[in-house]
Amino acid sequence: MTPSANRMGSYGESTVLSKEHFKAQELLKKASMAAAVFHQFNQQQVDRIVERTCHAGFQHRVRLAKMAQEETGLGIWQDKAMKNVFATQFVHESIRNEITVGVVAHDEAHGITEIAEPMGPLFIKVPLSSPTATVLFMILVALKSRNPLLISPSSRTLQCCAETARVCYQAALEAGAPEDCIQWLDESSREMDHAIMAHPDLALIVAMGRPELIQAALRSGTPAIASMPGHVPVLIDSSADIPFAVQNIVASKTFDNGTLFASEQAVVVEEKNAAAIVREFEKCNAYFLKPPEIKQLEATLFEPDGGPVLKPACIGQPVETLAKMAGITVPAGTRLLIARQEKIGDEYPLSGAKLAPVLAFYVRPNFEGASNLCIELNSHGDACHVAAIYANNELVIQTFSDLMKVGYVMVNMPASLGAIGGIFNRLKTSLLMSCGASGKAITSDNITARHLLNLKRVYRRRDNERWKNFPKDNFLDEHRTLNTVLEEYNRNY
Amino acid sequence: MVTSNYDSTSHTLTFLFSGSMDTIQSAAHAGAVSAALDKAAAKTAAPDNPLRAVFDLKDVNYVSSAFFRICLGTAKQVRQGNFRITNAQPAITQLFKIAGMDEFLAAL
């Protein structure tokens, strides 16, 4: 054992504690004290803190967006500013009137009362793609649910995350929030993240991003909400309004250079409409790559033996940068690169998730073929949370919805912005979509303050009269079948 | 508000707090608590009879982070195991548990 290390049973018999574990201990100690103080706050106090914090975050939305774009070198600052708007104004509007303290529901007839309690310290690993918006969002929902928050930025988001957290923390403190209700790490360290995630005082992990991180969170022994980029197929049915569909897809896939986890990854069309759809994409400044250019782009975007994982340097880059990196000449003003594909799999990396303005394009003979391909695309990868369809035939929409094994089916709307909620649909606005069972998550839902509460239920006595009046010997008589028991059990009921 | 009482037989300094131990109140009491501990500690330096500190929280209805820090500071100032919290209301007891400071709660 080194002089700075120690052994502690709670981490396991043979675990030697490192300096990261002691730092984690210190952070969790402060967070636990904040949790205790927060526990005493009433709804009015909480709502005032959330409102003031929201105003502060909104006030700095543009500056923080520019910081994020500058520090990460990816995305578009104007779109990042919009994400900051969604994370503050829209999220606040969606949670403002929610009861998150004390009794949230009471059913006199059934004798059940639900009481909301905070979970305890939360930990968020912030993704590279939406750092400031994610921090703004998590702070608001954590404060609303009276949970302290520990923020761990990635190495390329240290400054913008720290500044976002500082702005919000200051506003929250001025509104009366407990000290240390928001803490952030000033360096990025995998060991530190692991030490925090495994700490027994941590209540919940929010893990967003790489599959390795999600796996580490799920293995930590602490409950986790996981979110990662998905293989999102979008089917343009023959009943679709083609110009409308294409314009929406282009707007969605190019938003912040394709960095939203729910952004479209592959367009699937029926043969009879393919030519019209290609023309419409070209009208919207999309460029269909020629076969040799597809090879060049693949070699640029993906490691030779790294599987279908985008190189970090290519995430969220504009088309002109990607084209230049790949040595491809594209027409001026090109917004989106499209690669025609036939097959799916690791050997066809463009068939997978690409957090960049690059789409795969598949043509199939009919709706059945196109649907089958969407099922394949969706299930190939780590998360299949979203599928999208453009159609004006209700039967087609229903069939597609039944077929897709996803948490979200987006109909006639941009998938990426649709999943945020509150813009194109009535989903709760959230910067965190849980991937569902396919992404090793317990729920497929837009995560918001209510998911960060422990709901305590108080059950008052309400006797089951049938049980009370039914002679129990009937259950012990082996000659009685369920039908004969039920006949008597339910008599006069 | 806080009053203190020193028992020379058991070498125990008991602080009786009342009301809301919010940030302002806690800050106001922190210095007095520390000074009283120093003064009591000076009365006897016998290693077999260390100073004990007790916080009686019978009349406390709110605690802040600053008050938790007074508790941690006091626990550090007296020797290991010689700081106790007594008579806390159940709601306050629960907060010490949430804060991970239940080691200081006197056995119920």
**CA neighbor of A236 nearest in space, from A43, A411, A479:** A411
The verdict on A456 touching B (C-beta cutoff 8 Å) is no
pLDDT recorded at residue A228: 82
In a 10 Å sphere around its CB, with 0-12 CB exposed, 13-18 middle and 19+ buried, how is residue B20 labelled? middle
More confident residue, A475 or B2: A475
Interface probe, candidates A39, A40, A115, A119, chain B, greatest B C-beta count within 10 A: A40
Domain of B85: which CATH number? 3.30.750.24
How many A×B Cβ pairs under 8 Å? 40
Residues within 8 A of B (CB atoms), A 114-153 only: 120
pLDDT class of B6 with cuts at 50, 70, 90? confident
Q: What is the pLDDT along chain A (493 residues), one digit of tens a residue?
A: 333 333 333 334 445 678 888 999 999 999 999 999 999 999 999 999 999 999 999 999 999 999 999 999 999 999 999 999 999 999 999 999 999 999 999 999 999 999 999 999 999 999 999 999 999 999 999 999 999 999 999 999 999 999 999 999 999 999 999 999 999 999 999 999 999 999 999 999 999 888 888 889 989 999 999 888 888 999 999 999 999 999 999 999 999 999 999 999 999 999 999 999 999 999 999 999 999 999 999 999 998 776 678 888 999 999 999 999 999 999 999 999 999 999 998 889 999 889 999 999 999 999 999 999 999 998 876 667 899 999 999 999 999 999 998 889 999 999 999 999 999 999 999 999 887 776 667 778 899 999 999 999 999 999 999 999 999 999 999 999 999 999 999 998 8
What's the domain range around B89? 2-104
What mean pLDDT do residues B83-93 have? 95
Sign of torsion over alpha carbons A318, A138, A19, A210: negative
Least CA distance to B91: which residue of chain A? A40
Q: Rounded CA gap, B53 and B58, in Å?
A: 16
pLDDT recorded at residue A68: 98
pLDDT recorded at residue B8: 84
B39 CB-side CA count, 13 A: 11
**Residue whose tokens read 């975007």:** A301
**CA neighbor of A127 nearest in space, from A198, A217, A199:** A217
In a 10 Å sphere around its CB, with 0-12 CB exposed, 13-18 middle and 19+ buried, how is residue A252 labelled? buried
CA distance B64 to chain A (A): 6
pLDDT recorded at residue B107: 65
| Domains by residue range for chain A, with CATH | 18-228+448-455 (3.40.605.10), 233-425 (3.40.309.10)
pLDDT class of B40 with cuts at 50, 70, 90? confident
CA distance B25 to chain A (A): 15
Provide the number of structural domains found in chain B: 1
The verdict on A32 touching B (C-beta cutoff 8 Å) is yes
| A226 strand-pairing partners | A207
pLDDT recorded at residue A76: 97
Residue B65: which of A28, A37, A120 has the nearest Cβ? A37
First to last CA, chain A: 70
Instruction: For B68-86, write each residue's pLDDT tens digit.
Output: 999 999 999 997 789 999 9
Which H, E and C letters describe A403-465, residue by residue?
A: HCCCCEEEECCCHHHHHHCCCCCCCCCCCCECCCHHHCCCCCCECCHHHHEEEEEEECCCCCH
Cβ-defined contact of A36 to B62 (cutoff 8 Å): no
